[in-house]
Amino acid sequence: MASDFTVFLGELMRNPREVSAIAPSSAAVARKMTEGVENVEGPIVEIGPGTGSFTKAILERGVAPERLILMELNPRFCEELARKFPGVTVLNRPAQEIENIGFSNLGCVISGVPVLARPQIQREVVGRAFNVMAPDGVFVQITYSPNAPIPEDVQIDMGITATKRGTVWANLPPARVFEFRRKVQ
Protein backbone atom coordinates (compact mmCIF):
# COMPACT_ATOMS: atom_id res chain seq x y z
CA MET A 1 0.00 0.00 0.00
CA ALA A 2 1.57 3.25 -1.17
CA SER A 3 1.75 6.28 1.11
CA ASP A 4 -0.27 9.41 0.30
CA PHE A 5 2.92 11.23 -0.61
CA THR A 6 4.04 8.44 -2.96
CA VAL A 7 0.66 8.41 -4.72
CA PHE A 8 0.67 12.21 -4.85
CA LEU A 9 4.20 12.39 -6.27
CA GLY A 10 3.46 9.71 -8.87
CA GLU A 11 0.36 11.56 -10.08
CA LEU A 12 2.17 14.92 -10.02
CA MET A 13 4.81 13.46 -12.33
CA ARG A 14 2.25 11.72 -14.59
CA ASN A 15 -0.31 14.53 -14.71
CA PRO A 16 1.31 17.85 -13.70
CA ARG A 17 -1.59 19.90 -15.11
CA GLU A 18 -4.10 17.90 -13.09
CA VAL A 19 -2.25 18.03 -9.76
CA SER A 20 -1.97 21.69 -8.85
CA ALA A 21 -0.16 21.55 -5.51
CA ILE A 22 3.50 20.83 -4.82
CA ALA A 23 2.72 18.59 -1.83
CA PRO A 24 -0.35 17.17 -0.10
CA SER A 25 -1.99 19.63 2.31
CA SER A 26 -0.82 19.42 5.91
CA ALA A 27 -2.97 18.28 8.81
CA ALA A 28 -2.87 21.87 10.12
CA VAL A 29 -4.41 23.20 6.88
CA ALA A 30 -6.96 20.38 6.93
CA ARG A 31 -8.04 21.38 10.44
CA LYS A 32 -8.42 25.04 9.39
CA MET A 33 -10.32 24.11 6.20
CA THR A 34 -12.78 21.92 8.11
CA GLU A 35 -13.47 24.12 11.15
CA GLY A 36 -17.16 23.97 12.04
CA VAL A 37 -18.07 21.39 9.40
CA GLU A 38 -19.51 19.17 12.12
CA ASN A 39 -22.22 21.80 12.71
CA VAL A 40 -23.29 22.03 9.06
CA GLU A 41 -26.61 20.53 7.99
CA GLY A 42 -27.08 18.76 4.69
CA PRO A 43 -24.63 17.12 2.32
CA ILE A 44 -21.00 18.20 2.24
CA VAL A 45 -19.05 18.19 -1.03
CA GLU A 46 -15.30 18.23 -1.25
CA ILE A 47 -13.93 19.21 -4.65
CA GLY A 48 -10.37 18.35 -5.60
CA PRO A 49 -9.69 16.12 -2.58
CA GLY A 50 -6.44 14.72 -3.99
CA THR A 51 -5.14 12.17 -1.50
CA GLY A 52 -7.75 13.02 1.14
CA SER A 53 -6.11 15.32 3.71
CA PHE A 54 -9.31 17.36 4.08
CA THR A 55 -11.51 14.25 3.78
CA LYS A 56 -9.78 12.67 6.76
CA ALA A 57 -10.23 15.85 8.82
CA ILE A 58 -13.94 16.11 7.89
CA LEU A 59 -14.56 12.54 9.05
CA GLU A 60 -12.49 13.07 12.21
CA ARG A 61 -14.84 15.94 13.09
CA GLY A 62 -17.69 13.42 13.27
CA VAL A 63 -19.34 13.92 9.87
CA ALA A 64 -21.00 10.66 8.79
CA PRO A 65 -19.36 9.22 5.65
CA GLU A 66 -22.78 9.02 3.93
CA ARG A 67 -23.03 12.83 4.03
CA LEU A 68 -19.74 13.36 2.22
CA ILE A 69 -19.37 13.50 -1.58
CA LEU A 70 -15.91 13.77 -3.13
CA MET A 71 -15.46 15.10 -6.67
CA GLU A 72 -12.00 14.29 -8.03
CA LEU A 73 -10.77 14.45 -11.61
CA ASN A 74 -7.80 12.11 -11.19
CA PRO A 75 -8.83 8.41 -11.47
CA ARG A 76 -5.88 7.16 -9.37
CA PHE A 77 -6.78 9.53 -6.55
CA CYS A 78 -10.41 8.34 -6.82
CA GLU A 79 -9.31 4.71 -6.35
CA GLU A 80 -7.28 5.63 -3.28
CA LEU A 81 -10.06 7.78 -1.80
CA ALA A 82 -12.65 5.01 -2.22
CA ARG A 83 -10.29 2.51 -0.60
CA LYS A 84 -9.34 4.76 2.34
CA PHE A 85 -12.78 6.19 3.10
CA PRO A 86 -15.50 3.51 2.93
CA GLY A 87 -19.04 4.87 2.87
CA VAL A 88 -18.00 8.17 1.26
CA THR A 89 -19.32 8.82 -2.27
CA VAL A 90 -16.39 9.27 -4.65
CA LEU A 91 -17.16 10.71 -8.08
CA ASN A 92 -14.56 10.84 -10.86
CA ARG A 93 -15.93 14.13 -12.18
CA PRO A 94 -14.71 17.71 -12.51
CA ALA A 95 -15.77 20.32 -9.96
CA GLN A 96 -17.57 22.23 -12.74
CA GLU A 97 -20.23 19.48 -12.70
CA ILE A 98 -21.28 20.15 -9.10
CA GLU A 99 -24.77 21.20 -10.26
CA ASN A 100 -25.19 17.86 -12.04
CA ILE A 101 -24.50 15.41 -9.21
CA GLY A 102 -28.10 15.31 -8.03
CA PHE A 103 -27.72 17.03 -4.67
CA SER A 104 -29.20 20.29 -3.47
CA ASN A 105 -29.13 22.29 -0.24
CA LEU A 106 -25.45 21.54 0.22
CA GLY A 107 -24.36 22.73 3.63
CA CYS A 108 -20.71 23.14 2.75
CA VAL A 109 -18.23 22.85 -0.09
CA ILE A 110 -14.58 22.32 0.80
CA SER A 111 -12.35 23.22 -2.15
CA GLY A 112 -8.82 22.24 -3.01
CA VAL A 113 -9.39 23.33 -6.61
CA PRO A 114 -7.14 26.25 -7.59
CA VAL A 115 -9.33 29.25 -8.45
CA LEU A 116 -6.85 32.10 -8.01
CA ALA A 117 -6.35 34.13 -11.21
CA ARG A 118 -8.72 31.87 -13.13
CA PRO A 119 -11.97 33.84 -13.55
CA GLN A 120 -13.63 31.16 -15.66
CA ILE A 121 -12.97 28.50 -13.01
CA GLN A 122 -14.19 30.90 -10.29
CA ARG A 123 -17.55 31.22 -11.99
CA GLU A 124 -17.78 27.60 -13.18
CA VAL A 125 -16.89 26.12 -9.81
CA VAL A 126 -17.78 28.60 -7.08
CA GLY A 127 -20.76 30.11 -8.90
CA ARG A 128 -22.24 26.69 -9.70
CA ALA A 129 -21.63 25.48 -6.16
CA PHE A 130 -23.70 28.36 -4.77
CA ASN A 131 -26.50 27.39 -7.18
CA VAL A 132 -26.95 24.11 -5.25
CA MET A 133 -26.03 25.25 -1.75
CA ALA A 134 -28.40 25.94 1.11
CA PRO A 135 -29.03 29.65 1.76
CA ASP A 136 -26.64 29.57 4.74
CA GLY A 137 -24.11 27.29 3.01
CA VAL A 138 -20.40 28.01 3.15
CA PHE A 139 -17.72 27.52 0.49
CA VAL A 140 -14.23 27.06 1.96
CA GLN A 141 -11.19 27.62 -0.28
CA ILE A 142 -7.45 27.11 0.17
CA THR A 143 -5.07 29.54 -1.53
CA TYR A 144 -1.39 30.42 -1.43
CA SER A 145 -2.08 34.12 -1.97
CA PRO A 146 -2.39 36.58 0.93
CA ASN A 147 -5.62 37.88 -0.65
CA ALA A 148 -8.97 36.24 -1.30
CA PRO A 149 -8.64 33.99 -4.35
CA ILE A 150 -11.71 35.59 -5.92
CA PRO A 151 -11.43 39.34 -6.58
CA GLU A 152 -13.92 41.67 -4.93
CA ASP A 153 -15.60 42.65 -8.24
CA VAL A 154 -16.27 38.97 -9.04
CA GLN A 155 -17.56 38.42 -5.49
CA ILE A 156 -19.99 41.33 -6.00
CA ASP A 157 -21.14 39.88 -9.35
CA MET A 158 -21.72 36.48 -7.74
CA GLY A 159 -23.41 37.94 -4.65
CA ILE A 160 -20.89 36.45 -2.23
CA THR A 161 -18.46 37.79 0.32
CA ALA A 162 -15.09 36.48 1.57
CA THR A 163 -13.77 36.14 5.09
CA LYS A 164 -10.24 35.03 5.84
CA ARG A 165 -10.19 32.17 8.35
CA GLY A 166 -6.46 32.37 8.78
CA THR A 167 -2.96 31.61 7.56
CA VAL A 168 -1.39 28.22 8.17
CA TRP A 169 2.38 28.43 8.20
CA ALA A 170 2.78 24.69 8.83
CA ASN A 171 2.19 23.82 5.18
CA LEU A 172 4.31 23.67 2.01
CA PRO A 173 3.86 26.39 0.87
CA PRO A 174 2.14 28.36 3.66
CA ALA A 175 -1.60 28.47 2.95
CA ARG A 176 -4.48 30.83 3.57
CA VAL A 177 -8.03 29.67 4.11
CA PHE A 178 -10.99 31.78 3.05
CA GLU A 179 -14.68 31.14 3.39
CA PHE A 180 -17.30 32.51 1.05
CA ARG A 181 -20.95 33.05 1.89
CA ARG A 182 -23.90 34.67 0.20
CA LYS A 183 -24.18 38.37 0.94
CA VAL A 184 -26.93 39.13 3.41
CA GLN A 185 -29.56 41.20 1.60
Q: Where are the domains of the chain?
A: 4-182
Interatomic CA distance for residues 55 and 104, integer angstroms = 20
CB 56 within 8 A of CB 30: yes
Sign of dihedral through CA atoms 131, 133, 135, 139? Answer: negative
pLDDT tens digit string along 108-167?
999 998 887 677 888 899 999 999 999 999 999 999 999 999 999 999 999 999 999 999
Say how far apart CA 156 and CA 169 lie, in whole Å. Answer: 29
Report the CATH architecture of 4-182.
3-Layer(aba) Sandwich (3.40)
Rounded Cα–Cα distance for residues 80 and 51 (Å)? 7
Residue-wise pLDDT tens digits, 72-115: 999 999 999 999 999 999 999 999 999 999 999 999 999 998 88
